[in-house]
Amino acid sequence: MIVELRKSDRQKLNMSKKQAKKQLKNLQRCLKHLSALVGHECTVSRLPSKSILLGNAGHANGIGRADVVSLLQSHLDESSYKLYFPPDKQFSILFTQDICESIVDMINATKIKGNILYCAFLSEDLSFEISNEIKPPGLKLFGDIISEEFEGELMELFLEHSKNRSSSQDELKNRVTLHYGYKFDYKTNLVDLTAPLEHPIPASVRKVLGIIQPHISITPNQLTVNIYQPGQGIPKHVDTHSIFTSEILSVSLGSDVVMDFKHPTSGKVLPVLLPRRSLTVMSGESRYLWHHGITPRKTDALQDVVERQLRISLTLRECTPDPCTCNFPSQCDSQNYGKPRYSVEDEEEGARLEEQYVSAVYEEIADHFSSTRHSPWPGVVKFLNSLPSMSLVVDVGCGNGKYLGVRSDITVVGNDNSYNLCSICQDRGHEVFACNALNIPLRPSTCDSVICIAMLHHITTPQRRVTVLENLAGLLTPGGLGLVTVWAQEQHLDLETTESCRPCPTDGTEEGVGRRHFDSQDVFVDWQLKKPGSVPDKSGSKLYYRYYHVFVEGELAGLISQVPGVELVEVTYEKANWCAVFRKL
């Protein structure tokens, strides 16, 4: 990291070496925070760039947009730059339209509201994506939905209710809440649907519902009113998946406020300004995946520092007895937060899981998935190379077809349940058809060999796994060999050997996600879908989960032993996968 305080700057400020050292530390801390915000390491540079770090000029220093604008006004035209203030940080970022070589020299080490500004060019131009216009996916905001007069009436009504207790209310540690329709239980984060409240949703809020009708797709039957004094907030949370439906609505009264949305795995925080008299609709990722909350503080700042006023929010939700089937199991109580409680035994449930967490996901991620699967795995190539010339081979679950063209003197026909993956194979000149491995439309005893690579672990029940293996065996002519590989729960069995002591390359294991740790055999594994060509910024990606059953030692051999008419040839462990070869009798 190239950060230093120049002697000339230090002299200009009459700063001691010790003070300078402290400044340096501050700046390094700014870079660390910035790196966390953008998702990769940020450094400063002597070469001019269009992104400039303004250390000591952040909201945490009590400095807002107006302060920086007034500092810059004699140097830069206000229309030629943008400013970004990360929440609660001791720095801001200046984005200039063109490279302005002299700007750092001009404003460096000047005083701004008693703070010594220290600035430096960043070594790469950050995109505006980190600016505060970005919202989590699925979040919609509608401004000015009610008049100031109506806002006043509503606020008066709820302040009245909070005094005379004409509703079910809670004095929480940090705010007062009122409930209508059903009571939200803060201990269980659930609603008792068998006990509707005597206070229904008030008529004036019904009027609000009429106004917002065009923007929403749920029918709210529960209202929670939060009364926030300036300085109060609400801890970050995801509204319980099981009890509330697909949208969470919030109408803001009395004050603007900044709500923070935090991504649970990347840790990225997106602050979003909720203006008074606006409607916020959380749906999709913003409802199911991102955690949202309001930091308790008396002022908010996105561009300028604004004092909070008394704010009343109307949270409108639709309670349901049906379990949630969202695509975000890691946050979903109906789906045990992505950790199946038990192995799946039920066939229907198994089929449903495969459809939702395997088939549908691969259709979506096919292109990105394929772009990460280019090098054929040596174990599979070795098997294919051992086959007699002119063999006819079927690759069940062929993915992007990386094994279909390994040898020119054998004919390999591929199939996959993902039509989009089949298309990729077809574009590469391979022979493929789309089908499910549980029901393969081929005549029996037609193939010399069959391979099934990194597919069987997507099948959810033991019975269904045996069915797939029976199907593979059925395709073989007598004496024909089959190769099956699956992901292992044991991820490190071979790490003593010299070969695999090397760092794992991206496509090193068949699964290509590096070594993992599995607490359970039935797991959901995430896939960050990156849009083609996008920078590795989490906001440009979408999260998917794929179902896996990871195999333990002996399990694959056990399944093969249940298949009539085949004998096990060998089982090996390679790069966190179990591989079995069997022969048709």
Partner 1 sequence: MKLLTHNMMRSHCKGVVNGFPLKLSSSQVDVKEIEFNPDFINRMLSRLEWPALVQIANQLGVGEGLPEMLPEEQKFEDEDVLKKIHHVLLEVEVVEGELECPETGRKFPISKGIPDMRLNEEE
Which positions lie near partner 1, rule CB under 8 A? 348, 351, 355, 389-390, 392, 408-409, 411, 413, 415, 417, 419, 422-423, 426, 431-436, 439-443, 445-446, 477
Q: Which is nearer to partner 1, 444 or 505 (CB)?
A: 444
Give the contacts of 352 (CB within 8 A, at least 6 positions apart).
Answer: none
Q: Which is nearer to partner 1, 144 or 431 (CB)?
A: 431
To the nearest whole angstrom, how small is the minimum distance from the Cβ of residue 418 to partner 1?
10
To the nearest whole angstrom, how small is the minimum distance from the Cβ of residue 351 to partner 1?
5
The structure tokens listed for 585 are 């009798």
Q: Which is nearer to partner 1, 251 or 472 (CB)?
A: 472
Closest-CA residue to 555 (of 508, 487, 509, 481): 487
Give the contacts of 286 (CB within 8 A, at least 6 positions apart).
Answer: 135, 136, 137, 138, 139, 261, 292
To the nearest whole angstrom, how small is the minimum distance from the Cβ of residue 439 to partner 1?
5
To the nearest whole angstrom, how small is the minimum distance from the Cβ of residue 411 to partner 1?
7
Question: Whole-angstrom Cα distance, residue 34 to residue 67?
Answer: 21
Q: Which is nearer to partner 1, 297 or 428 (CB)?
A: 428
Q: How far is CA 464 from the centre of its chain?
A: 30
Question: Whole-angstrom Cα distance, residue 48 to residue 57?
Answer: 20
Q: Which is nearer to partner 1, 197 or 435 (CB)?
A: 435
Closest-CA residue to 274 (of 261, 285, 287): 261
To the nearest whole angstrom, how small is the minimum distance from the Cβ of residue 408 to partner 1?
8
To the nearest whole angstrom, how small is the minimum distance from the Cβ of residue 417 to partner 1?
7
Q: Which is nearer to partner 1, 307 or 346 (CB)?
A: 346
Question: Whole-angstrom Cα distance, residue 59 to residue 92?
Answer: 8
Q: Which is nearer to partner 1, 229 or 426 (CB)?
A: 426
Question: Whole-angstrom Cα distance, residue 406 to residue 91?
Answer: 54
Q: Which is nearer to partner 1, 57 or 351 (CB)?
A: 351
Question: Whole-angstrom Cα distance, residue 238 to residue 218?
Answer: 18
To the nearest whole angstrom, how small is the minimum distance from the Cβ of residue 363 to partner 1?
11
Neighbours of 570 (CB within 10 A): 9
To the nearest whole angstrom, how small is the minimum distance from the Cβ of residue 484 to partner 1?
21
The structure tokens listed for 500 are 């695999």
Q: How far is CA 72 from the centre of its chain?
A: 37
Beta strands (DSSP E) in 127-218 are 139-142, 168-171, 176-180, 184-185, 190-191
Q: Which is nearer to partner 1, 412 or 523 (CB)?
A: 412
CA-only gyration radius of the chain, Å:
30
Burial 490-528 (b: 16+ CB within 10 A, else e): ebeebeeeeebeeeeeebbbbbbbeeeebeeebbbbebe
Question: Whole-angstrom Cα distance, residue 566 to residue 569?
Answer: 9
Q: Which is nearer to partner 1, 349 or 567 (CB)?
A: 349
To the nearest whole angstrom, how small is the minimum distance from the Cβ of residue 558 to partner 1?
26
Q: Which is nearer to partner 1, 78 or 363 (CB)?
A: 363
Element housing 361 (H / E): helix 360-371
Closest-CA residue to 93 (of 66, 62, 63, 131): 131
To the nearest whole angstrom, how small is the minimum distance from the Cβ of residue 567 to partner 1?
22
Q: Which is nearer to partner 1, 169 or 411 (CB)?
A: 411
Q: Provide φ and ψ at 401, rounded to 5°.
A: 80, 25
To the nearest whole angstrom, how small is the minimum distance from the Cβ of residue 496 to partner 1?
43
Q: Which is nearer to partner 1, 434 or 569 (CB)?
A: 434
Half-sphere exposure of 324 (CA within 13 A, CB side): 28
To the nearest whole angstrom, how small is the minimum distance from the Cβ of residue 371 to partner 1?
20
To the nearest whole angstrom, how small is the minimum distance from the Cβ of residue 390 to partner 1?
4
Q: How far is CA 410 from the centre of its chain?
A: 42
Burial 414-427 (b: 16+ CB within 10 A, else e): bbbbbebbbbbbee
The structure tokens listed for 393 are 């081979």
